[in-house]
């Protein structure tokens, strides 16, 4: 029986080197993620974030050649010991390139959204209901009768996300899901992720936009040198002085506040704000001190 | 709906037919016209079945245009070559140097041409009136493997996939100074650098596409459900068997020599 206090995702000493690679992309990595939380993964380009996403989803080692070690569990199950189909049922993976997430075998967005549900033998009535619900949430209704290949990059990315959200996996791993989206589309996606998380879905999101992670995540993990070098509350992680040395960009609010401090507009002893709310607090405190 | 096929969305009885029924009818016609060695059978089928079907399906105009563009030039070439240079021709109607217009050559061209016309026009009416998504669902409903259905659908979709990728590569190369102007030859030569990244890109995508398909449970069950359910009334099922058995009967009659 699964221990209810156990984390939903647990990686212990996980290492992975791709075939013919000179070094391990992931090296003895440990990571624990609780059920029903939203966790952001950040790191420099080439840090191994996509490899980590595939490992959490079980595609490494089940579908990828290379050297694998350690144990990755999802809901207490070691995915590597099962089949790829079982892993896919436990963890939904949205890959980086929406073009390749599209099945390539469906003629309309509506059919595309239903593709995964058909493969899971979901009854037609339920399938129609779930497709309509997800399309409404991500505002895809005007696109439902269009060809998936007639969409813009952003629209295609929304369809790729919707095609996985509609399958309602208990764990959802998304690899840079908003890279091609405009601010409104990005907001929509994060709203949907928040709703899913409230409903008990565990969400892991690889993202470069640290402002978004600060606003929406319960925790952030930093990947550098194949290891999780920092994992904790967004405020604490994004305030870490070593952030830029790990190749992670600070938020624009922090950058603006740092420049303001260099020009003497903010006291040195005050911690730099990270999000917009922190910045408002900082300005309020300054105004209070001035009056 | 944007598709790669020639399908025309219309409201007609032909469009409403189960695609499998139309497919069986098409295959029966092809079997019959190729089995019977008389040119008037294919012509009769074109006049009595295919053209009325196109009118009923409200695709007559498009069929005519496709006939003029695709088939007519081919038929003209066929009649010129076979009519003038048929090797076994003995009844000479007209001659000029090596070219001899013979009755046998014309008859041969007529036989081949009429079969070709029935085959192409019949297939075009099928494609023009059949939604590919409904076709795939209907085929899966009658027992075709979902994996084979995927391969067929993916093949039909490969053209827009290619176009989408080619467009982005072309834009990237034009942004870096590739000029696609001048004579057709110059333009064709300028497009050569497109081929490498296009083909290699499609090949490297296969891995990620296969990961995405696994993530979407492709192949997880041998009996997936379908969003599109195509009605298959008893009348159509009977009609399919009648068509199929009729076509077989024609072939048998030809083989045993009743139809000569």
Give B162's pLDDT tier (boundaries 50, 70, 90): confident
Predicted local distance difference test score (pLDDT) of residue A102:
85
Average pLDDT value for chain B: 87
Predicted local distance difference test score (pLDDT) of residue B223:
84
Q: With pLDDT > 90 as the criterion, what percentage of chain A qualifies?
A: 54
From chain B residues 85-114, the ones with a CB under 8 A of any chain A CB are: none
Does B229 lie at the interface with A, CB-CB under 8 angstroms?
Answer: yes
Determine the distance in angstroms separating the CA of A21 from the nearest CA of chain B, rounded to an integer.
18
pLDDT at A6 over 90: no
B68-96 exposure pattern, b = at least 16 Cβ within 10 A, e = fewer: eeebeeebeebbeebbbebeebeeeeeee
Predicted local distance difference test score (pLDDT) of residue A25:
94
Give B245's pLDDT tier (boundaries 50, 70, 90): very high
pLDDT at A67 over 90: yes
Q: Are B161 and B4 in contact (CB under 8 A)?
A: no
- Higher pLDDT residue, B147 or A38? A38
Substitution target in A60, A116, A121, A149 with the highest count of B β-carbons within 10 Å is A149
Highest mean pLDDT among A97-106, A113-122, B151-160, B176-185: A113-122
Angle, helices A109-119/A153-165, rounded to nearest 10 degrees = 30
Does B148 lie at the interface with A, CB-CB under 8 angstroms?
Answer: no
Predicted local distance difference test score (pLDDT) of residue B2:
46
Chain A residues with beta carbon closer than 8 angstroms to that of B157: 104-107, 149
pLDDT at A1 over 50: no
Query: For the segment A224-262, what is each residue's pLDDT rounded down to a tens digit?
Result: 999 999 999 998 999 888 998 999 988 888 888 888 888
Contact B217 A114 (CB under 8 A): no
Which are the contacts of A21, defined by CB distance < 8 A and separation ≥ 6? Answer: A66
Q: How remote is the C-alpha of B139 from its chain's centroid?
A: 17
Contact B225 A123 (CB under 8 A): yes
Predicted local distance difference test score (pLDDT) of residue B197:
81
Predicted local distance difference test score (pLDDT) of residue A224:
94
Looking at residue A244, the DSSP 8-state letter turns out to be G
Predicted local distance difference test score (pLDDT) of residue A3:
61
Distance CA(A138)–CA(A96), nearest Å, equals 18
Contact A100 B212 (CB under 8 A): yes
Query: For the segment B32-81, what is each residue's pLDDT rounded down to a tens digit?
Result: 999 998 899 999 999 999 999 999 999 999 999 999 999 999 999 998 88
Chain A to chain B Cβ contacts (< 8 Å): 132
Average pLDDT value for chain A: 90
Contact A93 B215 (CB under 8 A): yes
Which are the contacts of B26, defined by CB distance < 8 A and separation ≥ 6? Answer: B122, B123, B126
H-type alpha helices, A177-275: 183-198, 210-216, 234-238, 252-262
pLDDT at B89 over 90: no
Tell me what the mean pLDDT of segment B154-170 comes to: 77
The residue of chain B nearest to residue A129, with distances taken between CA atoms, is B227
Q: Which of B136, B205, B216 sits opposite A116 (nearest CB)?
A: B216
Which are the contacts of B62, defined by CB distance < 8 A and separation ≥ 6? Answer: B6, B8, B128
Contact B211 A120 (CB under 8 A): no
Predicted local distance difference test score (pLDDT) of residue A4:
60
Contact B217 A167 (CB under 8 A): yes
Chain A residues with beta carbon closer than 8 angstroms to that of B214: 59, 63, 84-85, 88
Does B123 lie at the interface with A, CB-CB under 8 angstroms?
Answer: no
Give B213's pLDDT tier (boundaries 50, 70, 90): confident
Tracing tokens 């399908």 back to the chain, one arrives at: B7
Contact A100 B205 (CB under 8 A): yes
Q: Which of A89, A101, A111 sits opposite B228 (nearest CB)?
A: A111
Distance CA(B143)–CA(B35), nearest Å, equals 28
Provide ipTM, 2 decimals. 0.73
Chain B residues with beta carbon closer than 8 angstroms to that of A144: none
- Higher pLDDT residue, A288 or B226? B226
Give B1's pLDDT tier (boundaries 50, 70, 90): very low
Which are the contacts of A231, defined by CB distance < 8 A and separation ≥ 6? Answer: A31, A219, A220, A221, A222, A237
Query: For the segment A139-166, what is each residue's pLDDT rounded down to a tens digit?
Result: 899 999 998 888 888 898 899 999 999 9
Contact A124 B229 (CB under 8 A): yes
Q: Are B40 and B82 in contact (CB under 8 A)?
A: no
Predicted local distance difference test score (pLDDT) of residue A275:
84
Predicted local distance difference test score (pLDDT) of residue B237:
95
């Amino acid at each position: 029986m699964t221990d209810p206090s156990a984390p939903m995702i647990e990686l212990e000493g996980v290492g992975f080197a791709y075939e013919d690679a000179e070094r391990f992309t992931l090296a003895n990595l440990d990571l624990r993620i609780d059920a029903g939380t939203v966790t952001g993964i950040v790191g420099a380009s080439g840090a191994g974030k996509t490899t980590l996403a595939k490992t959490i989803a079980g595609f490494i080692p089940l579908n990828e050649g290379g050297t694998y070690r350690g144990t990755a569990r999802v809901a207490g199950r070691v995915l590597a010991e099962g089949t790829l189909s079982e892993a896919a049922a436990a963890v939904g993976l949205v890959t980086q390139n929406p073009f390749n997430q599209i099945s390539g075998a469906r003629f309309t967005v509506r059919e595309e959204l239903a593709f995964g549900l058909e493969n899971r033998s979901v009854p037609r009535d339920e399938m129609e209901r779930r497709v309509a619900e997800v399309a409404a949430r991500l505002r895809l209704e005007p696109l439902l009768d269009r060809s998936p290949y007639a969409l813009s990059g952003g629209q295609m990315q929304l369809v790729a996300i919707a095609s996985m959200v509609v399958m309602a996996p208990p764990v959802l791993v998304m690899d840079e899901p908003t890279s091609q989206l405009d601010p409104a589309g990005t907001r929509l996606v994060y709203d949907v992720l928040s709703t899913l998380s409230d409903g008990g879905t565990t969400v892991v999101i690889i993202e470069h936009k640290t402002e978004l992670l600060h606003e929406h995540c319960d925790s952030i993990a930093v990947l550098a040198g194949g290891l999780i070098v920092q994992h904790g509350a967004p405020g604490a992680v994004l305030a870490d002085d070593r952030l830029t040395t790990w190749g992670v960009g600070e938020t624009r609010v922090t950058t603006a506040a740092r420049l303001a401090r260099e020009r003497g507009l903010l006291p040195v002893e005050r911690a730099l704000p990270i999000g917009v709310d922190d910045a408002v607090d900082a300005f309020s405190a300054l105004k209070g001190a001035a009056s | 709906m944007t598709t790669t096929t020639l399908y025309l969305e219309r409201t007609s009885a032909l469009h409403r037919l189960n695609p499998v029924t139309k497919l069986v009818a098409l295959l029966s016609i092809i079997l019959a016209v190729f089995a019977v060695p008389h040119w008037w059978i294919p012509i009769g089928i074109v006049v009595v079945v295919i053209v009325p079907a196109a009118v009923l399906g409200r695709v007559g105009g498009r069929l005519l245009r496709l006939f003029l563009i695709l088939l007519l030039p081919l038929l003209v070439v066929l009649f010129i070559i076979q009519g003038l240079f048929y090797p076994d021709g003995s009844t000479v109607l007209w001659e000029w140097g090596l070219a001899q217009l013979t009755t046998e050559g014309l008859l041969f061209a007529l036989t081949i041409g009429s079969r070709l016309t029935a085959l192409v026009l019949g297939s075009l009416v099928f494609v023009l009136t059949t939604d590919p998504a409904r076709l795939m669902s209907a085929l899966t409903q009658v027992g075709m493997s979902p994996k084979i259905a995927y391969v067929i659908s993916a093949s039909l979709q490969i053209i827009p996939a290619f176009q989408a990728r080619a467009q982005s590569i072309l834009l990237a190369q034009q942004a870096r100074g590739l000029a696609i102007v001048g004579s057709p030859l110059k333009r064709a030569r300028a497009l050569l650098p497109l081929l490498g990244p296009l083909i290699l890109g499609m090949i490297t995508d296969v891995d990620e596409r296969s990961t995405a398909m696994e993530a979407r449970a492709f192949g997880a069950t041998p009996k997936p459900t379908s969003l599109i359910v195509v009605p298959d009334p008893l009348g159509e099922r009977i009609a399919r068997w009648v068509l199929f058995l009729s076509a077989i009967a024609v072939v048998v009659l030809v083989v045993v020599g009743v139809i000569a």
